[in-house]
Amino acid sequence: MLACFLGVVTTAGAEEDKTLSAVTVTGQQEPDGFRATKTRVGKVVQDPHDVPQAITTVTKALMEEQEANSLREALRNVSGLTFNAAEGGRSGDNMMLRGFYTFGDMYLDGIRDTAQYNREVFNLEQVDVLRGSAAMLFGRGQAGGVINQVSKTPMLYGINKAGVGIGTNGFQEVKADINQRIGESTAVRLNVMNRDEGSARSNPFTGTEPEIHRSGVAPSISFGLGTPHEVTLSHLWVKTRDNADYGIPFANRRPNEAMAKAGNYYGVDAGFDNSDTNVTTASYLYTIAPDTQWRTVLRRANYKRSFWAVAGQGALTAASTSNQAKTREFETDNYVLQSDFNTAFSLLGMRHEVVTGAEYLREESIRWALRNLGTATKPLYVPGQFNGAAITYSGDTYSAYVQDTVEFIRNWKATMGVRRDEMRAQYSSVNSPSLNFGQWSYRTGLSWQPDVASHYYLSWSDSFSPTADLYQLSGGELPPERSRVSELGGKWLFMDGDLTFRTAIYTASKDWERNTDLESTAALNSKKRRTNGIEFELAGRITSNWEVFGGIALMAARVNEQYDGRATGQTFAQATANGTANGGLGYAAGEAADANQAVYVGRSQQVSEGHRARNTPAFTANLWTTYRFAENWKAGLGFEAKSSRSAYGIGTCGAATQNATTLLWSYSNCSTTFAPNSVPGYVRWDAMLTYDQPSYTIKLNVQNLFDRVYYDALYDNGGFTVPGQARRFILSGEYKF
């Protein structure tokens, strides 16, 4: 941000340069606090207040005050967001936003970061959540929105910090953020982290606890800061050596409360969740004029992960902790070249702000199931020892987009954007392994900003997600998911811009949704689904000593129409298999008589049509507020609240039989009762006390202040749920130099 501004300043006169540079450096040394003032989530640096779409930004200051060390902990500050528990390929960061999956919408500095792993925040400046469909800006994705992680970068002024923290249940962490100017326009930055965590939960037979052991190093160097030509080279390395927590089972369609209160854990010492992430990035920013920039980024990312975890299902016995293993090993390589150009000009008396760009994405992935080298009652899984053939995926995506924002009347702007994505891929584990998709995506918006403090907007955007996204889903015989979002919102600034308030009412719908477990090749449950909602959010300073960040989201998420399995042109055998896998009830009379044009028109076993979508609470709220008192002291208090959520699977049916007269096919053992598992709502409170001096800070955090038993993550196919963090105390100290 500073570099871009300084690049503009250098084009002005020498006297003006001196004045503006001094003011800018002083301002930048003061953190944004809870209100973010800059974002690039719209492909150009701008104030979130000016974006005609709902944005939630979790700032570095907010994450540090809460001792939020992982991306999951940081995202607790985002209303309308819930966490999924995991099976197989979806373990890792896996969230729902506005009732829709986001596992294909994770980004790092605007570039896809969709491999399934656990992300850390030690090298993040902020996390931007752009709500709603965003395929025009980012490419394929879902209706919920985009989660973009913003990395720390070198600066021309030094902010150096080193800290250490200790806490209950084996919490230990050391971290440092070192920035150094090494020339007139060159600076380096290094962020490092090492953290170990135990748990209040344990296996009653073995004493094993869920464990987290994570390390990270992120060096970067920038050349030409404050000049028209800026080059930044960076690398991110993160290692995890965890023992994963798959939670506890349901009993009578509710979480097994006795197990949760007893702190029972299904894992064993042999379990592991090992990952190594390496992301190397080179970026070039050319500031041609104050309102014209060209930015190009080249990235290579490699993700390796191997895990064996025990699912929290069935009775907890010594034997059950051995025979329900979930295994997976994968390696993913992504290569990205992205180039964006933005400029502003006047034409025919109207102001235009144009953003255009192109992107090439190469994805390569290979995955295996791990082989059991032990016995059924005492299994032994070792990374690199595989069971069966590997499943491979390779794909090339070519994209181009253009967007124009036109001020056609004073204070009124219209935004229009279009993008084309062409995807060519090969996938070894689908019915149609050759995938060929070409999709258009659009974004429109109307903004009225009568003054600098007010912004009213109406926006519409869409997105698509092809089959085989994330190298898991079924093949090209089904059309891509298509999502559409309409949103009406308002944003206001108070307290001279220190406090922002926004609200938005929206409707988001999706067609051809794949929402069964990604382990299944029959990954289709609802054909049409919609979420209608309203959101409120407040962030910033009420007074110089009082800060607040909070949000409320009300969501009505419904399955509008279940998949009827129509797939014309299938053979009869293919249609029968498709119908059975999706819990079919039968074929239409006359259509199934032609073996080459069989059309399945049954319904899922679980009749969820008209019911609430999975893992989507009707109400979520969050609040974090701090107050500085007695000059050097600050106290903080906050909560996270969610109403109840449901989980259910689509199931299967038995054998198919055909009526000789009507030619109607039907299936045996198909239940039509909708009786989902569910987890109750909860409120979790956190607190903080800080003593701050210019050269050091001492901080005490209490997470889950009242030691509430609650359920944090939900496996939406209905098998299990993961209890949340028990009460934990963390005492940390930070030295600033």
Tens digit of pLDDT for each residue in 180-222? Answer: 999 999 999 999 999 999 999 999 988 999 999 999 999 999 9
Largest CA distance in the chain: 93
Predicted pLDDT of residue 279: 98
The share of the chain scoring above pLDDT 90, in percent, equals 64
399 in Cβ contact with 422 (< 8 Å): yes
How does pLDDT run across 272-331, given as a tens digit for each residue? 999 999 999 999 999 999 999 999 999 999 999 999 988 887 788 776 665 577 888 999
- In sequence order, which residues have a C-beta less than 8 Å from that of residue 414 and are 6 or more positions away? 405, 406, 408, 444, 445, 446, 447
Report yes or no: 396 and 423 within 8 Å, Cβ to Cβ.
yes
Q: Is the pLDDT of residue 8 over 60?
A: no
The CATH architecture to which 31-563+604-644+680-736 belongs is: Beta Barrel (2.40)
Residue 172, pLDDT above cutoff 50: yes
| CA 84 – CA 93 distance, rounded (Å) | 8
Provide the pLDDT for residue 332. 94
422-426, 478-482, 572-576 — most confident range: 422-426
- Give the contacts of 279 (CB within 8 A, at least 6 positions apart): 108, 113, 235, 236, 299, 300, 301, 302
pLDDT at residue 69, as a whole number: 94
Q: How far apart are CA 652 and CA 719, in angstroms?
A: 15
Where along the chain do the CATH 2.40.170.20 domains lie? 31-563+604-644+680-736
Q: Are 99 and 507 in contact (CB under 8 A)?
A: no
pTM of the model: 0.88
pLDDT value for 735: 97
- Written as one string, the DSSP assignment of 292-313 is EEEEEEEEEEEEEEEEEEEB--
Answer whether residue 347 shows pLDDT above 70.
yes
What pLDDT does residue 19 have?
Answer: 37
Q: Per-residue pLDDT for 95 more than 50?
A: yes
- Select the more confidently predicted residue: 588 or 83: 83
Residue 360 has pLDDT above 90, yes or no: yes
Q: State residue 673's pLDDT score.
A: 67
Confidence of residue 238 (pLDDT cuts 50, 70, 90): very high
